[in-house]
Amino acid sequence: MIEQILQTLVQVKSDLGILALTPGNVAMIGVGFLMLYLAVFKHIEPYELLPIGMGAILINLPLHQAGALPQGGIQDAGLLGIVFYYMVYTYNILPPLIFLGLGALTDFGALISNPRTIILGGAAQIGIFIAFLGALWLGFDLREAAAIGIIGGADGPTTIYLNAILAPHLLGICAVTGYSYISLVPFIQPPIMRLLTTKEERKIRMTQLRHVSRRAKIIFPVIVMVTSILLVPESAPLVSVFMIGNLFREAGVVERLNKSTQNEILNIATIFLMLCVGLTLKAETVFQLKTFKILTLGLIAFSFGTAGGILLAKFMNLFSKHKINPLIGAAGVSAVPIAARVAQEVAYREDPENHLLMHAMGPNVAGVIGSAIVAGYFLSVIPG
């Protein structure tokens, strides 16, 4: 009898998750709680950080199968593990669904009204290539360098999409790095913006945007989709759904599709995609030297992306009759609409009557298209 009791106690002890916790698990659970705090109490990227934080906490709790990936079949896998394996890792479905919803929420009016801002959105993608080269220099292979470099596009779904194809083992840390720096845009960008512009440049008032007709807004996504895919066919999975979602918005004849795309589809995809990102944040994969290299490269990418848009705007002003406020160039990183709001806030400090927000939305949404095209370019030139 006593021996049976002792065996039972030993079995109970071995089943206690708290005894299986490692210092790394505890640290990552703390990181998860930090994400929850930032999301709930500081309102920093709550739609992303809250589910990512919960996923990070879950995966670092030992002795459960909720996030287990299918090995020989789905019978021993957890629900979230199944979603991650099939919807992200294998078929990469969730990021395009996010793009579909984002397209339905996007207004291209500012971009169509001032086409020059497309160039600014393109210039901001220099951060991607700087980080790409930096990753190669630090010893990452070609596929890993591209997956890291795309962080500079400041586009979370694009980062996840490219990582799932080229470097799935880096998906979690690259996604969290991208979303973390997106949330820090209000702190990262202003010092760079003030450093690279004069007080007079920050006070430039841009001419009022012209009215954009409904017909132009309907034609625009079709033209962009066709042109982008003809030039970079591998950009099709992201660019096409983004433009289809936008056409749902602008056509005015499929309101049910538009509302479903903006709400149910986008919300469900966001829930599962962010939870899956959190599930990749296991302590043993995060606490490595390469993690700190990626964090450094992400910061460099954001900084150079910000600088690239500003400097090109200054260069364009040398030949332009209607001056561009260089601050909107910083919005070329596709952190929509945070980067556009930061441009407005920095301009407001110099001139409270200078309204740059709508002007900044032009390069901001151009940056979304640009980062998707760059991701397609990497997929087309990097061997599978």
The residue-averaged pLDDT of 249-265 equals: 96
Alpha carbon distance, N-terminus to C-terminus of the chain: 62
Asked if residue 122 has pLDDT above 50, the reply is: yes
Mean pLDDT of the chain: 90
**What is the pLDDT at residue 16?**
60
pTM of the predicted model, to two decimals? Answer: 0.90
Structure tokens at 97: 């669904």
**What is the pLDDT at residue 287?**
87
- In the chain, the percentage of residues whose pLDDT exceeds 70 is 93
Asked if residue 6 has pLDDT above 50, the reply is: no
**What is the pLDDT at residue 12?**
47
The residue-averaged pLDDT of 325-354 equals: 92
**What is the pLDDT at residue 1?**
59
